[in-house]
Chain A
Amino acid sequence: MDLFEYQGKQFFARYGIPTSPGGVAETVEESVRQAVAAEFPAVIKAQVQVGGRGKAGGIKIAGNEEEARAHAQAILGMDIKGHLVKRVWVEHASDIAKEYYASYTLDRSAKLYLLMLSAKGGVDIEEVAATDPGAIVRRHIDPVGGVDREMLEEAVESAGIDPEARQGVADVLEALYRAFVEGDADLVEINPLILNTAGKVHALDAKVTLDDNAAFRHPEWAEWAKTVEYDGRERLAKERGLNYIGLSGSVGIIANGAGLAMSTLDVVNQVGGSAANFLDLGGGASADTMAAALEVINTDENVEAVLVNIFGGIVRCDEVAQGILEALNRVELRAPMVIRLDGTNSDLAREILAPHVSPRLVVEGTMLAAARRAVEIVNENKGA
């Protein structure tokens, strides 16, 4: 789960990472109240999960109530790269002396945690990584031993953090590590981490990705989960326990297992088609799961053919075939379906499906043949 900035700051606050005083608002009047409470000058920041909101006009400084009202009016409801601004975060504007960058994440390749720290913050850090990689200090951390003060102080010095900020930055790094580990985050990133003109170090932004697998030990996340934005179909799929990602093509894909589903996308593409979605049924493929998958795909008007690709291991193909027929009784499918069932009891499955075969229900023996047939159906539609 990706947190909005204001949620990230709430998350940081739990672990003692200093941020500017402020509050979240969904209306213009609430924004003005928050600005008054934070004291002017106040900064009004669009809450969207996409980079470049400053350039898009989503961050404005207000010197008084009038300006706060005008800015909030302009920003709330704004569209930033396809993201609708529903909320703003309002905080006291900081007098920035220096801007730094700090993050912790898991380095999958090293199988260790990774601290990245730079004295060049406040700008696109990927740009810094590309043009001046030496400006980013990287330190691997063994999850068993964790961080110690000495190592953090060394990193702070190596990164060229200004002497007057070193103590404060090391404090933040210590607290940020706790937030990363105890908070079960996949990523914690502060850009910029600032030194203000009063000599204090604090987080001006917050980018946090939480590990959904750890939700069971964080009941406090429930409030943030409510603001996660899905499109209608993704929400429907999630409610049915399906692993679904919407795409823009015309072949609806249903497969069991993420690898097989990805592979089905590849093969459809290789035979000249394009997938409308990625949908992984998971291990089982019961009539209920299949019906749920068909319902989800049925709501996608771009779908002109449905490709069902199942490999039966422990789940037997004859059970899956029965499940498909039962699901088709419950859901009236708009597009023709091409089925490929392979693995345990696939012969039996073909026998079960045989009496139902029609131009709208096609059975193929291999993944490649099934993908070709699905793409043919799409092309025939286009020709007609």
Chain B
Amino acid sequence: MSIFVDETTRVVVQGLTGGQGRFHGLRNRDYGTKVVAGVTPGKGGTDVDGIPVFDTVEEAVAVTGATASFVSVPPRFAGDAVLEAAKAGVSFVVCITEFIPAKDEAYFFNLLRDEYPGTRLLGPNCPGIISPGKCNIGITSGDIALPGGPVGIVSRSGTLTYQAIHELSQQGVGQTTCVGIGGDPVPGTSFIDCLAAFEADPETKAVLMIGEIGGADEEKAAAFIAEHFSKPVVAYIAGQTAPPGKKMGHAGAIISGSQGTAKAKMDALAEAGVIVAPNPTAAGEAMVEIVHKLS
């Protein structure tokens, strides 16, 4: 099994006629993903390499039965695109768009939470999601992933996600689903959301988690793992020696307190029983060892 997306997922690409949307949308289809529609206002009735394009997500859903959306539109249109998908009843929205204003993100995150609880947003500014052999939405290179599980991956960083997938695949360790939640201030899907889904997925036997400095999502994940997560977790936190990030005046420092540093995150995770690795290679090795012990 897998989480969030699988072989039954039917994808509409918002922005399919744009350069990025076309490139990644067609790559996703080549991987075997059911890319059933595209949406670009004003280009309804055309097609991209045989994929029908509609003016609105609502039409695309009505005609093609799309269940998920891949949002690849410029930052100024991204918020409206995400909300359009939610209004059309799409249950899983992947937004890869980078550089979305924080106010827009905070607004549509809360609007979805309050009014469209049936829609899960992944991203923005994320690499997407891949359930190897079944469905790939976003910019991950499908070639590096290995189907069959038993490892679930959840990560805030794009290239480190690929790195992690690659290291496991090379050792013959497959993945159930790899989720890139993105590194923006208000991610639609958090570590906890993914951990809860992995806990419920019988084929996922262990989880590799890649965090970054900043925010408090990793600390919250640690608390969740201690309370509700029964499977082995290996974690790596990037930025242990990174320069202090942009300081958000005094207000930012007060909210986060000691939270947000790599050390605070690593300590919290270790306390929750997670195996915390010093670098991505060590994290991969630790996970391979766990998987070999499981079988």
User: A residues touching B (Cβ–Cβ < 8 Å)?
Assistant: 103-109, 111-114, 116, 124-126, 129, 136, 142-144, 181, 184, 186-187, 189, 191, 207, 209, 211, 213-214, 216-217, 245, 247, 255-260, 262-263, 265-270, 275, 278, 283, 311-314, 342-344, 366-368
Q: Which of B109, B114, B214, B254 touches A126 (beta carbons < 8 Å)? A: B254
> Is the Cβ of B106 less than 8 Å from the Cβ of A126?
no
* Inter-chain CB contacts under 8 Å: number: 182
Cα A126 to Cα B255 with chains together (Å)? 10
> Is the Cβ of A189 less than 8 Å from the Cβ of B250?
yes
Q: Find chain B residues with CB under 8 A from A256 CB.
A: 159
> Is the Cβ of B185 less than 8 Å from the Cβ of A108?
yes
Q: Which of A142, A263, A344 has the most CB of B within 10 A?
A: A263
> Is the Cβ of A263 less than 8 Å from the Cβ of B238?
yes
Interface residues of B in 210-267 (CB under 8 A from A): 210, 212-217, 220, 236, 238-243, 246, 248-256, 259
Q: Do A311 and B159 contact each other (CB < 8 Å), given the known contacts A181-B103, A366-B281? A: yes
> Is the Cβ of A258 less than 8 Å from the Cβ of B141?
no
Q: Which of B38-46, B94-102, B146-154 contacts A (4 or more CB under 8 A)?
A: B94-102
Q: Find chain A residues with CB under 8 A from B186 CB.
A: 106, 108, 111
Q: Find chain B residues with CB under 8 A from A191 CB.
A: 250
**Interface residue? B111 (CB, 8 A):** yes
A-B residue pairs in contact (CB < 8 Å), sample of 13: A114-B251, A181-B103, A184-B103, A187-B248, A256-B159, A259-B212, A260-B159, A275-B241, A311-B163, A313-B140, A343-B163, A367-B279, A368-B279
Q: Which of A114, A266, A269 touches B255 (beta carbons < 8 Å)? A: A114
> Is the Cβ of B162 less than 8 Å from the Cβ of A313?
yes
Cα A245 to Cα B241 with chains together (Å)? 13
Q: Which 7 A-B pairs have the closest CB atoms?
A: A259-B157, A257-B159, A214-B101, A260-B159, A313-B141, A259-B160, A269-B241
> Is the Cβ of A216 less than 8 Å from the Cβ of B75?
yes
Q: Which of B27, B101, B143, B278 touches A266 (beta carbons < 8 Å)? A: B278
8 other contacts beyond A105-B252, A105-B255, with CB at 8 A cut-off?
A: A144-B114, A213-B101, A214-B101, A255-B159, A257-B158, A259-B155, A313-B162, A343-B163
Q: Find chain A residues with CB under 8 A from B110 CB.
A: 111-112, 142-144
Cα A261 to Cα B100 with chains together (Å)? 22
Chain B residue at minimal CB-CB distance from A255: B159
Q: Do A343 and B141 contact each other (CB < 8 Å), given the known contacts A106-B102, A143-B107? A: yes
Chain A residue at minimal CB-CB distance from B252: A105
Cα A135 to Cα B55 with chains together (Å)? 54
> Is the Cβ of A126 less than 8 Å from the Cβ of B250?
yes
Chain A residue at minimal CB-CB distance from B281: A368
Q: Find chain A residues with CB under 8 A from B281 CB.
A: 366-368
**Interface residue? B15 (CB, 8 A):** no
Q: Find chain A residues with CB under 8 A from B241 CB.
A: 265-266, 268-269, 275
> Is the Cβ of A267 less than 8 Å from the Cβ of B76?
no
- Least Cβ distance of B115 to chain A in Å? 8
Q: Do A313 and B114 contact each other (CB < 8 Å), given the known contacts A266-B238, A343-B141? A: no
> Is the Cβ of B249 less than 8 Å from the Cβ of A189?
yes
Cα A313 to Cα B142 with chains together (Å)? 9
Q: Find chain B residues with CB under 8 A from A343 CB.
A: 141, 144, 162-163, 166
> Is the Cβ of A344 less than 8 Å from the Cβ of B248?
no
> Is the Cβ of B278 less than 8 Å from the Cβ of A214?
no
**Interface residue? B12 (CB, 8 A):** no
Q: Find chain B residues with CB under 8 A from A213 CB.
A: 75, 99-102
Q: Find chain A residues with CB under 8 A from B107 CB.
A: 143-144
> Is the Cβ of A216 less than 8 Å from the Cβ of B76?
yes
> Is the Cβ of A109 less than 8 Å from the Cβ of B255?
yes
Q: Which of A111, A113, A125, A247 touches B254 (beta carbons < 8 Å)? A: A125
Chain B residue at minimal CB-CB distance from A256: B159
**Interface residue? B156 (CB, 8 A):** yes
**Interface residue? B174 (CB, 8 A):** no
- Least Cβ distance of B160 to chain A in Å? 4
> Is the Cβ of A314 less than 8 Å from the Cβ of B139?
yes
B182-223 contact mask (Cβ, 8 Å, vs A): 1 or 0: 010110000000000000000000000010111111001000
Q: Find chain B residues with CB under 8 A from A114 CB.
A: 251, 255
Chain B residue at minimal CB-CB distance from A182: B103
Q: Which of A143, A217, A259 touches B76 (beta carbons < 8 Å)? A: A217
Cα A240 to Cα B259 with chains together (Å)? 34
> Is the Cβ of B250 less than 8 Å from the Cβ of A266?
no
Chain A residue at minimal CB-CB distance from B112: A144
Q: Find chain A residues with CB under 8 A from B243 CB.
A: 245, 247, 278
> Is the Cβ of B141 less than 8 Å from the Cβ of A344?
yes
Q: Do A258 and B183 contact each other (CB < 8 Å), given the known contacts A266-B279, A311-B163? A: yes
**Interface residue? B280 (CB, 8 A):** yes
Q: Find chain B residues with CB under 8 A from A268 CB.
A: 241
Q: Find chain B residues with CB under 8 A from A187 CB.
A: 248-249, 251-252
> Is the Cβ of B280 less than 8 Å from the Cβ of A125?
no
- Least Cβ distance of A248 to chain B in Å? 10
Cα A237 to Cα B27 with chains together (Å)? 32
Cα A211 to Cα B163 with chains together (Å)? 30
